[in-house]
Structure 1
Amino acid sequence: MNVIRRVGSWDLIVLLALVLVIAVGAATIEGVASPRFWRFVSLEVIPIAIVALPLTLVIITGEIDLSVASTMGLTCAVMGDLWMHGVRSLPLLIALCLVLGAVLGAVNGLFITAFGLPSLAVTIGTLALYRGLAYVVLGDKAVADYPDSWTSGAISPISGLTIPWFVIVVAVLAVIFAVVLHATPIGRGLYAMGNNAEAARFAGVAVNRTKFWLFVTTGTMSALAGVFWTFRYASARADNANGLELAVVAAVLLGGVSIFGGRGGLLGVVGAVVLLSTLRNALQLASVPQNTLTIVTGSLLIASVVGPNVAAMARERLRRRRPARKSHQPA
């Protein structure tokens, strides 16, 4: 592979930044190198990564879903309400929550594909709607009497490690989404939609149908993240995951996915999820105020939009200079 392209790859830049943050954090902040620290990082990574995987595909097509955290919150509220009304079967409870997530995603997809409404406006609306419905369902109550086998089991560590076993589920999902995006005609169609939806239609891509199912998938995965969130904190509340959409979108964009669609990959996104969680937990361990953490997240979000464009411009300049240099070499 061309060395210049590898050095200019945004995925590689993100992974190098992750290594740098880990190295500096371990050298300057007590506890960053401890297994306990990485347990907290992995617990934070899990729900963000679960939502970031399908959202990556949505943004590559040129759309966005800002209702993901509210979908998680409504899932948690419904999960708590079902539990209070006697649904005590774990498989049934999870299945009903996933169906709910699919329905919520389908609502977004229907408005966007059938009525031609912009995804930004639709999902800002459902962000408020779904969160409001969560409070209607559960109010300000907290349901916290789940069996210990459920709550502790969801976050129990892999044998011999401190990292929770659910990381394996996330890794399997990441592989599945990566294969779909990077090694199938579906993935090529997603990039085509992001670059030019009309051209993709002429090429035979079912643009509206594909986008609809992407939003259904995002809703389903958000519901799964909501189930994990409930078990991790052993509490179903209407305000669960409030504001998490900022962390998810920041990770996807920092991972090199263009907000305009048509560019990006899952390796950089996964690296960005781990990078942001590592940085956030390290700064918290260093007693950095919450307001500063918000400023850091916002700054990285801006950098995630500007950075890939700057990197692309740099690669283009290097590409143009190389033929010019060759043309000046003596025969």
Structure 2
Amino acid sequence: MSSSSVALVVFALALVFATLSHQCHGGEVPLQVGYYRGKCPLADVEAIVGGVVKAWYKRDPTIPAALLRMQFHDCFVNLFSFNFFFLVFKGCDASILLDGSSSEKTSVPNLSVRGYEIIDAAKSAVETICPGEVSCADIIVMATRDAVALGGGGWYIVQTGRRDGTVSLAKNVDLPSPSISVSDSIKAFAKKGLDATDMVYLLGGHTVGITHCSFILDRLYNFQNTGKPDPTMDSSLLAALRQRCPQNASVDSSVNLDQNPLSSMTVDNSYYRKIAMNKGILKIDQELALDPLSNSTVSAIANGFDFSTKFGQAMIKLGGVDVLTGKQGEIRSSCRAINKPSK
């Protein structure tokens, strides 16, 4: 057998093992509720993180959007490495927090991610009481849950026990484009073990998000190079957005993704009601309400009363994507840098 054939066989086997590993959240020890009980006997780790988030929320009520985006971006990473014929995928491992000239922070989609100082503050608080035990990856998940609850969403019970990754490269960022089709978006989420329903709920994070005019100018003026606006956009919304986003503006203004001014900072199902009225801002937002692959789910959420519960369930599932557990990874001393090897 030629060397190239051997390499192909090894790669195929690695894919099989990686799929099994992917389904087990990437580690030999599963995540669990209450992981830190007993490890920090004098401290309630989740309460400490929650206290930090609450203090920040009082000063800045936009942090639910910031932390939801941070968790999503942290989990959507393609990282492949061979380890004894295993092709290991790593996802929610706090790699987005690492500083560096070519780290994930430097990738174009992540340049506008914010909230790092909140994670730093929470890490500092838990390290004071429970040093060397609490991962930055878990802090992201806990802090996001707390921010969602403060922003009007439901409280969900998070699983913990993640460890922090030691690699962060901009080239590994694997985020779906805001102009992606629904079918391609379903495929992108499926690569992370998330189904189409999970996708629709997780994109509901846009209920508290914003975008900038530069991302939607094509929909307003030259959709798919037609020289005309996107015909699926509500005419009154089109007129309002053209005022806010002139073609040759010198300032890239922001636009709420939930066009209900009374709930644009509340984690609720208003976003779905608006996209069902053809008032979606990003192309993928509007497509969710129009595409047969997702429109029935959008309609059910828009007209239902259980968004908070199911959104929380989707967030729990997102938080389990390709995590490091057990002896994998490390517990960082600082969320911005990997631990220095001991001499």
Identify whether the pair has TM-score above 0.5, normalized to the shorter chain: no
Higher strand share: 2
Q: Which has the higher contact order (CA 8 A, sep 6+)?
A: 1
Higher helix share: 1
